[in-house]
Amino acid sequence: MALKVPNDMSELLYMTIRKQDKLFIKAWAYKKQCPKCKKALMSKPLDEKTGRPKIRSTEYICPNCKYSEPKSEHEDSLKLDVQYTCPQCGKSGEATIPFKRKTYMGVKSFVIDCEHCANKIAITKKMKDPKKKKSKAVVEEEDDDADDL
């Protein structure tokens, strides 16, 4: 399965490249074509003053026909393409997953399974570290009142 590598950032909705020790991840999601006119790519509305996309907008708009779609519905229909090198087995692979973040070890992330060793690889939001499981250490409280008798 050969993924189409993007030529230009303007055709992408999401792009990340991560490197840590043996782990290497390159992930991207293409913008979706307008379902109504099929002539332009859907994007967030532009600010009139600056010409930049409104980051906190809750809808995606076609610049050609002005068709709009809610953010949640639009992002659920996208796919995330990933090229990776697994930190556990060291082999590289490719995957296509839905563009939907799941909670993995307490952090919102895209989760892919290594096609060679089935190890779970998480692409976390803002490079957050996964939460550690709490150890069940028994803390004993001493009774100072019992010694006074």
In the sheet where 92-98 sits, what is the strand order? 12-20, 23-30, 79-85, 92-98
So what's the pLDDT on residue 106? Answer: 86
Strands 12-20, 59-61: parallel, antiparallel or unpaired by DSSP? unpaired
Two tokens, residue 104:
């993995």
Q: How far is CA 13 from the centre of its chain?
A: 11
Cβ-Cβ contacts under 8 Å for 107 (sequence gap 6 or more): 122, 124, 125, 128, 129, 130, 131
pLDDT tens profile 114-144: 999 988 999 988 777 777 766 555 444 444 4
So what's the pLDDT on residue 126? Answer: 74
Count the Cβ atoms, other than its own, within 10 Å of residue 35.
12
Average pLDDT score over the chain: 85
pLDDT tens profile 51-83: 898 989 999 999 889 999 999 999 899 999 999
- Enumerate the domain spans of the chain: 1-31+78-129, 33-77
So what's the pLDDT on residue 20? Answer: 86
pLDDT over 70 percentage in the chain: 88
